[in-house]
Chain A
């Protein structure tokens, strides 16, 4: 089945130790998104890629970076995680198609713990 895959599902890192979260998709969607979701809150968009065009949200901290080496993969790099970065990180994809209302397909998320 076509899907959005996130690895790992659970990640533990130490304060200040760089960490990378990965997302892959078999949907061949041209847009990929990274969200941060804290407990019982709405997902907060960090950035998104339209093909290789990177779009950063204005309030995304510089500590967060992203890479999209090809259509299928997208990475979230946290350069120096702080305790406040502990959260669920969601990857989503969509096909830029106005007729379909750009439904976003979400991965299962990676829960990041910072010790």
Chain B
């Protein structure tokens, strides 16, 4: 079984600054995927960034990047040049690569990020 832990219930940042959201996970699988999803207030959940565990290079998507530390089972999200539209609940999630899990995600508890003008 997998577990995903987000230890920061809430975070805040000033517009244009950088913020890092923490996530740790536990899995017995050798191959898996990690995700960060964003859920803005009253809007649908969307994928922010994806990391494949067998790739050592950290994933980046424009202003979003991850710090993937496989040995430490850590997967933090860095948001650079924060924008007001980044205000949302952020969920870290994990999925096993194979087996019959059919893409089942294990979510963390979420971190509410507020970007202040």
Q: Flag whether B73 is at the interface (Cβ < 8 A).
A: no
Q: What is the CA–CA distance of A109 and B41 in the complex, to the nearest angstrom?
A: 12
Q: Flag whether A2 is at the interface (Cβ < 8 A).
A: no
* A96 & B102 in contact (Cβ 8 Å cutoff): yes
Question: B104 CB to closest chain A CB, in angstroms?
Answer: 6
Q: What is the CA–CA distance of A92 and B91 in the complex, to the nearest angstrom?
A: 15
Question: A106 CB to closest chain B CB, in angstroms?
Answer: 4
Q: What is the CA–CA distance of A90 and B45 in the complex, to the nearest angstrom?
A: 9
* B102 & A40 in contact (Cβ 8 Å cutoff): no
Q: What is the CA–CA distance of A55 and B99 in the complex, to the nearest angstrom?
A: 14
Task: List B18-52 residues whose CB lies under 8 Å from chain A.
Answer: 33, 35, 37, 43-47, 50, 52
Q: Flag whether A87 is at the interface (Cβ < 8 A).
A: no
Task: List B76-117 residues whose CB lies under 8 Å from chain A.
Answer: 89, 91, 95, 97-98, 102-105, 107-110, 112
Q: How large is the interface on A (under 10, 10 to 19, 20 to 34, 35 or more residues)?
A: 20 to 34
Partner of B44, one of A50, A103, A107: A107
State how many residues of chain B have any CB contact under 8 Å with chain A: 24
Interface core residue of A41, A90, A102 (most chain B CB under 10 Å): A102
* A106 & B46 in contact (Cβ 8 Å cutoff): yes
| A92: B residues at CB distance < 8 A | 45
Q: Flag whether A104 is at the interface (Cβ < 8 A).
A: yes
Closest residue to B108 on the A side, CB-wise? A42
Which residues of B are in contact with A by a Cβ distance under 8 Å?
33, 35, 37, 43-47, 50, 52, 89, 91, 95, 97-98, 102-105, 107-110, 112
Cβ contacts A to B, 14 pairs, < 8 Å: A41-B109, A42-B107, A42-B108, A45-B105, A48-B102, A50-B102, A55-B102, A92-B45, A94-B103, A101-B50, A102-B33, A104-B103, A105-B47, A108-B43
Q: A41-B109, A96-B102, A102-B103 are in contact. List 14 more A-B contacts (CB 8 A).
A: A31-B102, A42-B108, A42-B110, A90-B44, A90-B45, A96-B103, A101-B35, A101-B50, A101-B97, A102-B33, A104-B103, A106-B46, A107-B44, A108-B43
